[in-house]
Chains A and B, each alone.
Chain A
Amino acid sequence: MTPGRLALTAVGDSLDRCIKCTVCESACPVAAVTSLFPGPKTVGPQAERFRQSQGSSPDRSVDYCSGCGVCTRVCPHGVRIAEINARARARWRGRTGVSLRDHLLARPVLTGRLGRPVAPVFNWALGQRPLRVAAERLLGVHRAAPLPRVVGRTFRYRVSRRRPPRSPDRVVYFHGCSVDYFEPWVGQMTVAILEHNGFAVDIPRQGCCGLPLQSTGLFEPARRSVRRLARSLSPAGTDGLPIIASSTSCGLMVKREAEEILGVEDARLRDVSRRTYDLFEFLAGLHRAGRLRTDFTPVPLTVAYYAPCQQRGQGIGEPAMDVLGLVPGLRILELDRSCCGIAGTYGLKREKYAIAMAVGRPLFDDIAAARPDLVACDSETCRWQIGRATGLPTVHPLELLYRAYGGAEPGSAAAGPGGQ
């Protein structure tokens, strides 16, 4: 598959807008904690002038970019720094090859499928230090890294016998791999919340969006994945329906990164992309249109809320803050830090674990100082990281909303890694 010609030149050419102003390097959370990463400007627009568009990339330091995207967001001049770096990383990986570990981390469906039938054993193993030490040696996955537990019954299985209500208002749910294999309750609550608001929810069969493949530098399989996903999310009879994503990173992939990083130019994908909404983005829009049900019961909790990088990358503000602000009794403390460090699978890797923890340290300190009952964050990998690092129950903000609608206690279903 040939990536789009224009999409490829547009990102690379944005380096011309760089005037070296240092805004990105002063905001980069990774460069702040390690000299292994010389900063987004250095490996991005600067180094790009030394990379032939055809040849391999001569730099290893770009591999230390976590891909959090802060640089692109803060650049006042429109340089696509994170995108340049992601492409350079793929070229670097093209030269050095991709390890077994990275192949595994890049394929959450595979991990989920392998782990699910033997979930008790798999999950027990995750908690066993000697086994984790062995896994670190063999695979390079850090022994203390936050890994999710596999559930015995997938989300799809759990909703397979559900009887969806009839409604003229329909939406498509893009649940992603994590909901299916690791956090099915997030999906179940999403469906419940949408149904509570009068929507019939279509849940088409779907695979991985390709984001982990992309961040590992496996662009070709990533392109295949996201194109396949675009087809899955737009089955016959769903034309024009909103597509709701409860995973911020998968949503970002479909909305922007597939085109801007992978260079996929595909009409189907573009259509899907235009219809994709982050769950809270959608709910906040409903509220503005006067259509969000506010039959809330009070939730007397103090919650520290952190808007993850991938959600900020969507440029939708902080819709979870807007919606949760409507819930009586809920006290929300917003955490103003740039990154928790995990950046997808970055913080799982043996050589990057310490960096990821250092990146997240200011956030963890703020959380500790706030002494909340719970932490809320929209991104699954960030939740696992924060939960593991702070020891506090860390939930998707939709769990709070679910509770406000009269559902179960948040965090009760989530025996996430934070509890280990």
Chain B
Amino acid sequence: MDPSARMAGNDRAAADVVVIGAGTAGLVAAIRLSQGGLRVRVVAAGHGCLVLAPGVIDVLGYAPERVADPARALAPFVAAHPDHPYARVGPDGLDRALAWFRETVAPLGYVGALRHNRLLLTALGGLRPSCLVPQTMAAGDLSQGGPVLVVGFHGLRDFSPALVAANLCAVVPAPGTGVAARAATLEWPGPSGDGRPLTLARRLEDRSLRAAVGRDLRTVLGDEPRVGMPAVLGVDRWQEVWEEMQLVAGRPIFEIPLVPPSIPGLRLFDLLRRVLRAAGGRLQVGAPVTGVRHRNGRVEAVTVARTPREQVIDTRWVVLATGGVGGGGLQVDPDGTVREPTLGLPVHGVPVPGHPRVLPDPFASHPLDRAGLAVDEAWRPVDRSGRVVALNLHAAGAALTGCEPWREKSGEGISIATGYLAASAILEEAG
């Protein structure tokens, strides 16, 4: 046997579905597909964006005024934004996807409903609308105002309880309401710390260090019926940490998301990976996809960059979930060309050459922000004339055109719904 022919087989793998990307949309799609009985391999350049996100499930927070009831706001919102992914998701799709998600991540105890946005405290002391929140943030809905004790830690560099409390006293959650906030600071547990949330979260998993924090916490409690703390209450053993702190406080404690690395995001990422594995899915990280091989209008294989030899994965379906510009799923050249670098898919919503890509006001909605992939009803990318690029290639998540998740506060809603629905389309075809 010719040695080169013999060796070729070593660089091939096979799967029913290759999901490209290990962010929210990719993992959601992969889990759903695995649960549906398909052999799934998630292939990702690295870990996805979950550790950057606050771990809450935003559906629609601003449109552009603050949204109190996403279920009701959805129809007028998609009417105004016909290219938005939600226009294709629809209220029913969103409902199903979120119900499935809550069940899938049941150990994290997400609470909330599509009809009501909670107002969560930010790490600067503002209020931010979100729809589904993990158990540890459930008590943090400030939409009715009321007194709050904001507790931080000495040296924790991403959380200043004094500023949070001061700003919180100035916000008006709803007409006629307000928040009376007070700040307190606890000692950093154990030997002097590096100020990082992750270090603190790991320290709090230590029983004796936690006991010291508990003693400290008791001394700062007042009449406030609830306590807000930075989201550092344990990583793997968050439940134990959070419950024990509540027991000590004798009242509900809610976590306040911090800038990355986000610990609630990390918990969600870890859980989704476990669920995927349990469902039989495989996750291959550090594996950037370089392209696909087509045949008769279908993708038949995905190629993966690997030193010293490229890997080829034969597959029946592909889900592209590589994220937007921030995640590297879209790339912009100096001349303003926007590319989908993994598979070279057509990008829609790109500002006309010669027109500004971004505006002088950093807070503005920039012309470039809505660029992305357009898809058909089965979540398959289409070219400018609306033709499907490949019959078995689907896309989901932040790479889709027509949305500005960070401004709308819609990121996880879009990723979960589109990941779920893209997977549903494949399962339907698979029978």
Task: Answer yes or no: A and B touching, Cβ < 8 Å.
Answer: yes
Closest Cβ neighbor of B14 among chain A residues: A288
Taking a contact as CB atoms closer than 8 A, the residue among B48, B193, B198 that contacts A25 in the complex is B198
Those of A12-30 within 8 Å (CB) of chain B: 19, 21-23, 25-27
B261 touches A25 (CB 8 A): yes
Interface segment, one of B137-145, B172-180, B280-288: B280-288
Closest to B270 in A: A336
Chain B, range 158-215, C-beta contacts under 8 Å to A: 191, 193-194, 196, 198-199, 202
The digit string for B301-314, where 1 denotes a CB below 8 A from any CB of A, is 00010111101000
> Which secondary structure dominates where chain B touches chain A?
mixed
With A and B bound together, what is the CA distance between A91 and B402 in angstroms? 48
Per-position 1/0 for B288-330, Cβ under 8 A of A: 1000000000000000101111010000000000000011100
Partner of B277 from A77, A282, A316, A336 at Cβ < 8 Å: A336
B3-11, B68-76, B94-102, B217-225: which lies at the A interface? B3-11
Report whether B13 and A242 are in contact in the complex, using a CB–CB cutoff of 8 Å. Answer: no
**Cα-based distance from A291 to B44 in the complex (angstroms):** 30
Q: Quote the shortest CB–CB distance from B43 to chain A (angstroms).
A: 10
A291 to B10, CA, bound (A): 12
B113 contacts the other chain (CB 8 A): no
In the complex, what residues of B have CB within 8 A of residue A223's CB? none
* B108 CB → nearest A CB, Å: 17
List residues of chain B with CB within 8 A of the CB of A270: 308
B interface size (C-beta, 8 A) = 47
The reply to whether A76 and B10 contact each other, CB–CB distance below 8 Å, is: no
A22 and B260 form a contact (CB under 8 A):
yes
Set of chain A residues within 8 Å of B304, measured between Cβ atoms? 315
B47 contacts the other chain (Cβ, under 8 Å)? yes
B375 within 8 A of partner (CB): no
The listed residue with most B CB atoms (<10 A of its CB), out of A74, A270, A273, A315, is: A315
Residues of A within 8 Å of B9, CB to CB, are 285-286, 288-289
Chain A 399-417 near chain B by CB (<8 Å), digits 1 or 0? 0000000000000000000
Complex contact A281–B286 (CB within 8 A): no
Please tell me if B18 contacts chain A, counting CB pairs below 8 Å: no
**What is the minimal beta-carbon distance from B172 to any residue of chain A, in angstroms?**
33
CB-nearest residue of chain A to B51: A26
A274 within 8 Å of B (CB atoms): yes
Shortest Cβ distance from A72 into B: residue: B286
Q: A73-B46, A168-B1, A242-B6 are in contact. Are A256 and B199 (CB under 8 A)?
A: no
| Chain A interfacial residues counted at CB < 8 A | 49
Choose among A21, A170, A240, A317 the residue that contacts B13 (Cβ–Cβ < 8 A): A317
Which residues of the other chain, B, contact A314 by a CB distance below 8 angstroms? 306
Q: Which of B46, B277, B304 has the most CB of A within 10 A?
A: B46
Interface 1/0 per residue, A44-77 and B, CB below 8 Å: 0000000000000000000000000000111111
How far in angstroms is the closest Cβ of chain B from A291?
Answer: 8
Q: Is A38 an interface position by the 8 A CB rule?
A: yes
Q: Check A76 against B46 for contact (C-beta < 8 Å).
A: yes
- Chain A positions within 8 Å of B14 at CB level: 288
* Contact A315-B52, Cβ < 8 Å, known A74-B47, A77-B328, A277-B10: no
Q: Is the CB of B328 within 8 A of A76?
A: yes
Any chain B CB within 8 A of the CB of A221?
Answer: no
Per-position contact with A for B83-114: 1 when CB-CB < 8 Å, else 0? 00000000000000000000000000000000
CB distance from A216 to the nearest CB of B (A): 23
A241 to B288, CA, bound (A): 28
Among A237-289, those with CB < 8 Å from B are: 240-242, 255-256, 259-260, 270, 273-277, 281-282, 284-286, 288-289
Q: Contact check: which of A75, A259, A260, A289 meets B6 at CB < 8 Å?
A: A289
Contact A26 B3 (CB under 8 A): no
Q: Are A75 and B10 in contact (CB under 8 A)?
A: no
Chain B contacts for A32, CB-based, 8 A: 198, 202
User: Which residue of the partner chain, among B4, B10, B286, contacts A285 with CB atoms under 8 Å?
Assistant: B10
A181 CA to B260 CA in the complex, in Å?
A: 47
What residues on B are CB-neighbors of A275 within 8 Å?
Answer: 7
Residue from the list B12, B194, B306 in contact with A38, Cβ < 8 A:
B194
Residue A94 lies at the interface, judged by CB distance under 8 Å to chain B: no
Residues of chain A within 8 A of B327, CB atoms compared:
76
In angstroms, how far is the closest chain A Cβ from the Cβ of B422?
Answer: 20
Instruction: Give 7 nearest A-B pairs by CB, closest first.
Output: A285-B10, A76-B46, A73-B286, A289-B9, A22-B261, A26-B261, A315-B306
Apart from the given pairs A170-B3, A288-B13, 14 other A-B contacts in the complex at a CB distance below 8 Å? A26-B51, A38-B194, A78-B45, A240-B4, A242-B7, A255-B308, A259-B307, A284-B10, A285-B11, A286-B9, A314-B306, A315-B304, A317-B13, A317-B282
A sample of 30 inter-chain contacts (CB < 8 A) reads A21-B52, A22-B261, A23-B52, A25-B198, A27-B47, A35-B193, A38-B194, A74-B46, A74-B285, A76-B44, A76-B46, A77-B45, A168-B1, A241-B3, A242-B6, A242-B10, A255-B308, A260-B307, A270-B308, A277-B7, A277-B10, A284-B10, A285-B9, A285-B11, A286-B10, A288-B10, A312-B286, A314-B306, A315-B306, A336-B277
